[in-house]
Structure 1
């Protein structure tokens, strides 16, 4: 009986492992194809049957992205806007999440529901009012014209992540600090902040990625080339009669790098934050 159970369990584990490998390969295939295509000459991109590896690798598409188009400007804009947004969101989410997780707050339950509702609210539903508001305030074609709405849209989810992570930390951490006469702000910065780093990394990755890849508001609010971000800049590559697919592939590869580096560098903290609190209710 034990042998049957053991064999059944092994079969189940093997099935899970095989499924995971298949899913990983299917996920990695488009990324590999994007990467390989960015090094193919223009004539080779449309060849049939398509080649798995570039037959005549070239860097021409990368040169065009930075030479013919203002891709370096788009990258700097996206990194700046996403970085400032992430820093402000994390600072506010840390204290807000602490208050919701560790302090008696009136109406906490409806407030948490409201955070969830706002975090899934479609951007396009408020795009026109936001545009009219920014136009009346003179915020179009500026950095803060994107940073402020990005903060507003990303903060609710970050607060939800931090609240779910902080509520599982032992209360003894704060009690010992209060016994030493530390204020609430001092307690958060000295005691809670170091313990909450996995949750902060998780919220930070989500916020940075959402801000870096956002398209609708960036396309609507910033029409001047000097303030365009990566998604908008890539979408406007080419002209009515020519679509430079190779240059678009090369620019997309470069755009992936900041997010990929962040995930690789902080992967352990992100996984820890997600498993410890980010996916809990």
Structure 2
């Protein structure tokens, strides 16, 4: 019998679509459940204690309801704070999302990289450790932006994004001492790759952007390599912890990612 258990992706909002996309490109046969914790959105402005308590409890409820074969925490903030708590609480594979500092350091020629995430992510000791381990010979500049998270949500809901607003957020990196030498930016929030075309348009020429999506996709493919998949792929589900007008406006975008059913937890 084919295994019909889904791969479950979890984020505070729609940022995790930047991880779901590359994963489904590798595993088009995978049943999907995508969960946006819209009732808790945004995570980047919350305390570590709030996230460490909320995420494991919510994922426990989701695991019970949807019986996933694997959970992807497609959120840098939730992963850097709560990943170990979730792994301790649930007896199934959990894949986290962490800033792609290693590939950024491997790519940078100027040895100056920017880490662009939420305020909660960029202040984490986990980021200090990644920088020390993989970018010890680099200057690593950080900037936390809550505005870019909101802008990504707005874009996917069909709203127009003003270029000067994007440029103002990137200035938080480029206007730091040494920021003019940045040649690689780590999108350390899964929302931010969704704005990469807009960011490329206003960033200095030659600046590259990297994120963890492709690496996570490869990890999911590896962990499920010996598993079977259903021959008749069920409709993908998008689950919101709170339903509002923004969630309904996202329906066309969600459908493009294979998520044709919308539910409320």
Q: Bin the TM-score by the shorter chain.
A: under 0.3
The structure with more radius of gyration? 1
More strand by share: 2
TM-score by length of 2: 0.20
- TM-score of the two chains, using structure 1 as the length reference: 0.20
